Every structure is written in C-alpha cells, then in structure tokens.
Structure 1
Amino acid sequence: MAAGRVPAAGGAAVRREALPPPRGALATVGELGTFAWRLGRELPRARSHADEVVRQAAVVATGSTLVICAIAFMAGGSCGLESSALARSFGTAPIAAGFSAWCTLREVVPFVFGYVLAAKVGCGLVAELGAMRVGEEIDALEAMSVRSLAYLGATRLLGCAIVLPVAYLLALASSWAAAGLMGVVRFADVSEGTWRLFFFTFQDPADLVFSVVKGVAISAWVVVVALCFGYGVRGGPVEVGTATARSMAVNIVGVTLLSTAGTLLFWGANPRLPLG
C-alpha cells in the first residue's frame, strides 16, 4: 500500500497510509451476495430480538418517512408541471393527468424513493454499524455469545421491511397529491373530476402492484448494501467515512439499474396504454 507524507504543525511531516484502492465490480457483487446469504440465514434468529425489530422500525418510521414523502411531493409537482406543459403543447389538456400517472407511478417515485432511502437510511446504517465496529462494540457482543449479525443486521432488515413498503405507498400518495395540485389548482387546465378520470384511466391496480414490487426490491437492495458496508468496516473513523461514501455510490448504481430493469420487465413489452 502506497504511503505519503502530509505537513503537520511546526513543519514536521507525518507519514500517513494511503487508502486502499476501490474494489472491482465483481468483487463488490460477490461480497454483497455472500453477506446477503449470511444475513438471510440469521433472519429466523431475529425472533428472539422482537423488541429490537420494533425499535428499529420506529427509528426508520419517525426519522425518514416524512423526508421521503416531502421529496416525493416535490417530485410529483415536477411531474404535474411537465405533464401540463406537454399536454398543452399537444392541445389535449386532460391528458396531462395520464402523463402524471405514468411519471409518478412508474419512474420518478421509484427513483426518488431509492435515492433518498440510500442517503437517509443507508448512510445512517453504515455510519452506525461502522462506529460500533470501530468502537469494538460488535466484538463485545460476540464475546458475550450474542450473534451480532442477527442482533444488529437481521433486526434492522426486518424493521425496514415493516416500515418501507408503507413509506413507499405514502410517497406515491404524496406525489399524486402534488401532481393533482399542479394540474387542477395551479394551472386549472381541467376540473378535479376530469383530472381524476384521466389519472386513474391511465393506470390500474396491476400497475400499482408492479410499482410496489419495484419499491420493495429497491428497499431491499439499499438496506442490504448499507448493512454489508457498515458491518464489514475495518480500521478507524476514516474507514467508516470511506465505507459510507462507497455504499452511497453502490446504491446509486443499484437503484438506477433496478428501477430501469423493473420498467423493462413490467412495461417494456406491454406499456399498458388505455388506447384503442
């Protein structure tokens, strides 16, 4: 590992070890797969830590849901704004509601949800677990015969599994409300009844199910990546920060690929357009 010298107080040079080079994509995917397998095997043991599962669910619900809904509201407003502008250019103002339905349900909300989740929840998990690893708290749990991965990893995964699907539905509702305010109140292109008619004509329950599946898959990816990078920290505070940054980079790529793949899988061959 290469080393360098940095200036210190008084002109003295302090020798500092360079950070390790980034791992390759295959190595990262392999490490994530191995960790996910280990984490899955520990899930049944989390039943003995039900109180910790509930506590982690409460932490995510109170600390992240409002942020996710607020940003989804702004994203939905952007969808409503662009949809109204596009429909006006075609001379078909009522169709703006249909464009808003596609924009929020299929694309924008899954992306926004994943990115905000990675930044708010994912980075928090990495920093928390990394600090525990550096502070030797995880080693202390192992010394007390407590399965640390079950207590720290599985409980957080189950807590997120309880809260995040509901948070995703709330984010969808928030974006729909913002898109409706843009089309009905801000631009007054159509009446509220006409907007609702076209909005729900351009989507059905199957589309909602597909979107929720995308959201759940993105949630699982973000949480597993965060737990993997946080639990596997080795070193000191610098390595905790490095792991947090790398987890965010991996999550950005993963969320983008998962959302794109979900769109191609669910709507690529059949866009489900209500047009004859």
Structure 2
Amino acid sequence: MTVAADSGGVAAKPSTEAGTGSFGSYTGEGSLIRDLGEIARFTVTSVRRMPGVRHYGSEVLRQAGIMILSSSGIIWFMMGMLAAEASLEGHYLLSQLGAGSYTGVFTSTADYTVAPEMWGWILSAKVACGLVAELGSMRISEEIDALEVMGLDPHSYLISTRLLAVIIITPFMFMIGTGIMYGVQYVLNVHVFHSVSAGGYLSVFWAFQTQQDVLLSLAMGAIMGMMIVTVGCYYGYTASGGPVGVGKNTAKSMVINLVIVSVVGAVFQQMFFGSLTRAPIGY
C-alpha cells in the first residue's frame, strides 16, 4: 500500500495493489460480470470464425496431438483413481448393510455422473491454464500482432483451431477414461475386495446403467470441455501487462473454470439424470 502527497501537501487516499481483492484475482465492482459478458462475446466470435479453420487443418491436428500427449495421462490416471474411490466406498458401505453384492450400483452411477466432473477439473488445471500461458506469452511478445501483419486471421488460427481440436479429442479421451474406470472397478470389486462374483457384479452394474447414460455423460464432458477451453483461450488472447498480467489471467481462468465445472456439471446432471430413473425398480 502506498501513500502519495499532492502538490497542496494533502495526503492522497491509500491505494491497494491490484490482485489483492476477493474472489481470486478479481478486483473492482462488476469486473467478474464484465468478464463473463466478454467471454460470451468471445465465444460467439470464435464460433463465427470456425469456417476459417479449413485453411489450418494441420494446425488443428497439431493442437489435438499436443493435448493428447500432454494431458491424456493425468486425465486417465485421475479417472482411474476416482473409480477406485467409488469401489472402495461402495464395498465398505454396502458390506456393513449386508448388501455387498450391490457395489455395482455405486460404480455404475459414479461412471456417468462424477466422471465428467473429474474430466472438467483436470482440463481446467492442465489444459486451460496452459492455453492462458501460451497465448498470453504470444500476446505480450506481439506474436499475435505479427500474425495480423502477415495477413492471417489470429482468431481462427489460434482460437478456433484449439476449440475444434478439443471437440476432436474429447470422444477418444473421455471414452478411454470411462473404459479405464470400468476396468479398475471390476478388478477391485471382484478380485481385490471379493465383494461379489464376476457375473453378479456385471449384472448389477449394467442393470443401473444404459447406453444413453454413457452418451449423455460424453455430451456433458464435451460441452464442459469446450467451455473450459474457450475461457482459457479468452484470458490468454486478451492478456496484457507483461508476465504479471499473464499470471493474473491464469488465476482468473482457473477461478472461472472451477465455477463452470461445479455449477454447469450440477445443472447437467439434474437435466440428464435427475428425473430419469435408470434403476430397475418399479417396472
């Protein structure tokens, strides 16, 4: 905090350094609402510029490859850990109630409800923050301005290509992660905890889950993935103030994306699974 005196000898009001306000790195009344409005406008612009991606097909594939190689390992590992936790909780809770053979209820519902949340959290921490750092560095070093001078559309080349890349990789990465969850849960419940036989576990597991559940879970992960990448691209593309500004925008991106994953995920779960009973009860 600094205090400066004006020419009349009267001390000026103290001023706080930027970035010390509440709610992450947001300071000033209405700054969060303003950013949300700008993100919405940025999203519309990115979708409108999507046809221009046809000129940068190789860049789309390059970005898809980067996301797969840099993020797939941690995403699949965390989804596997989530499956292990669901199996552990289901085994010990239901065993105390004398219903250990129904651990498949826990594992099946965790697969299509909680898995997209973990997907979104890792994308927020790994992919979105990386995009802010990458695009922000390009902005402050005037590389984006150089693209405009060269006659390239920086929005199509930098933003729309990354959005299309995440659309391409989501089915691949998410479904493999879901398969890993299936395998971890089966091994733990059948061969490690010995909660139930192989046939009994699979019977209950698929009784409480349908193909529609898996597709809706995939759709939820894809929608959250596009929103998360858009937020990361926005804060990287609009970065200013040197490396410090890039760091602050990275923090803002993390705050917004964590809210998106939690709130949007809860809304989608209520929409997709809240009123549609998959359990074979009452039929």
**Helix, strand or coil for the counterpart of 1:195?**
helix
User: Greater shift after overlay, 36-45 or 85-94?
Assistant: 85-94
- Name the structure 2 match of 1:67: 74
- Name the structure 1 match of 2:240: 234
Indicate whether 1:91 and 2:90 are aligned: no
- Name the structure 1 match of 2:197: 191
Per-residue CA shift, 1:212-258, capped at 9, x if unaligned? 11111110111111011110111100000110111011000001111
Contact 1:78 1:179 in 2 (8 A): no
- Name the structure 1 match of 2:258: 252
Contact 2:239 2:245 in 1 (8 A): yes
Contact 2:60 2:164 in 1 (8 A): yes
Contact 1:164 1:216 in 2 (8 A): yes
Match of 2:52 among 39, 45, 53: 45
**Helix, strand or coil for the counterpart of 1:19?**
coil
- Displacement of 1:4: 7.3
Per-residue CA shift, 1:107-147, capped at 9, x if unaligned? x2111110001111110001000000011100111111211
Contact 2:104 2:202 in 1 (8 A): yes
- Displacement of 1:99: 1.5
- Name the structure 1 match of 2:141: 135
Contact 2:60 2:161 in 1 (8 A): yes
**Helix, strand or coil for the counterpart of 1:203?**
coil
Indicate whether 1:36 and 2:35 are aligned: no
Contact 1:210 1:266 in 2 (8 A): yes
For the residues of structure 2 that align with 1:64 and 1:194, how far apart are their CA atoms?
A: 35
Indicate whether 1:18 and 2:17 are aligned: yes
Indicate whether 1:213 and 2:238 are aligned: no
Contact 2:210 2:278 in 1 (8 A): no
**Helix, strand or coil for the counterpart of 2:276?**
coil
For the residues of structure 1 that align with 2:151 and 2:183, how far apart are their CA atoms?
A: 50
Amino acid at match of 1:68: I
- Displacement of 1:19: 2.2
Indicate whether 1:201 and 2:201 are aligned: no
Amino acid at match of 2:93: L
TM-score (norm 2): 0.89
- Displacement of 1:3: 5.6
Indicate whether 1:117 and 2:123 are aligned: yes
Distance 1:94 1:4, change over 3 A: farther
- Displacement of 1:197: 1.2
Which consecutive unaligned segments of at least 5 residues does structure 2 have? 5-14, 20-26
- Displacement of 1:87: 1.5
Q: How many residues align?
A: 264
TM-score (norm 1): 0.91
- Displacement of 1:18: 2.9
Contact 1:81 1:179 in 2 (8 A): no
Which consecutive unaligned segments of at least 5 residues does structure 1 have? 6-15
Match of 1:179 among 180, 185, 207: 185
**Helix, strand or coil for the counterpart of 2:218?**
helix
- Displacement of 1:149: 0.6
- Displacement of 1:17: 8.8
Moved over 6 A (4+): none
Indicate whether 1:264 and 2:270 are aligned: yes
**Helix, strand or coil for the counterpart of 2:241?**
coil
- Displacement of 1:73: 0.4
Taking only aligned residues, the RMSD between alpha carbons, in angstroms, comes to: 1.8
- Name the structure 2 match of 1:12: none
For the residues of structure 2 that align with 1:53 and 1:24, how far apart are their CA atoms?
A: 33
For the residues of structure 1 that align with 2:146 and 2:243, how far apart are their CA atoms?
A: 18
